């Protein structure tokens, strides 16, 4: 099996997923959030590289979002979702 590295064009955030779409987390970054961001909290609740995530629902204007990870549905602000790259 050949491992293909994702190019910068292939990487997107979970905020960009369509409803029902699944993806694997490749990186969690606080680049889009302030220095006191909840990025560490996101990793503590299971948003870690290698985990599969599924977009369950988006509210109007895509904020908040409902995602499923490790069998749990979690609501995220769009700003939080944008720091989780797939």
Q: How many CA atoms lie within 13 A of 10 on its CB side?
A: 9
Write phi, then psi, for 4 (nearest 5 degrees): -100, 125
In a domain, 41, yes or no: yes
Residue numbers of the domain that contains 54:
14-85
Query: How many distinct structural domains can be found in the chain?
Result: 1
CATH of the domain at 26: 2.30.30.90
In a domain, 3, yes or no: no
Q: Please write the tens of the pLDDT for every residue from 22-52.
A: 999 999 887 655 556 667 788 888 999 999 9
Q: Please write the tens of the pLDDT for every residue from 77-86.
A: 988 898 899 9
Computed over its alpha carbons, how large is the radius of gyration of the chain? Answer: 12
Question: Which tokens belong to 25?
Answer: 């987390």
Q: What is the rounded average pLDDT for all residues in the chain?
A: 84
The dihedral region occupied by 71, where left means phi > 0, alpha psi between -120 and 50, and beta the remainder, is left
């Amino acid at each position: 099996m050949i491992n293909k590295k994702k190019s910068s064009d292939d990487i997107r955030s979970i905020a960009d997923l369509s409803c029902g779409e699944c993806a694997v987390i490749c990186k969690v970054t606080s680049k889009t959030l302030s220095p006191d961001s909840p990025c560490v909290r996101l990793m503590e609740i299971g948003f870690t590289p290698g985990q599969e995530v599924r977009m369950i629902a988006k509210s109007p204007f895509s904020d908040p979002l409902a995602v499923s990870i490790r069998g749990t549905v979690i609501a995220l602000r769009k700003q939080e979702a944008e720091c989780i790259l797939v």
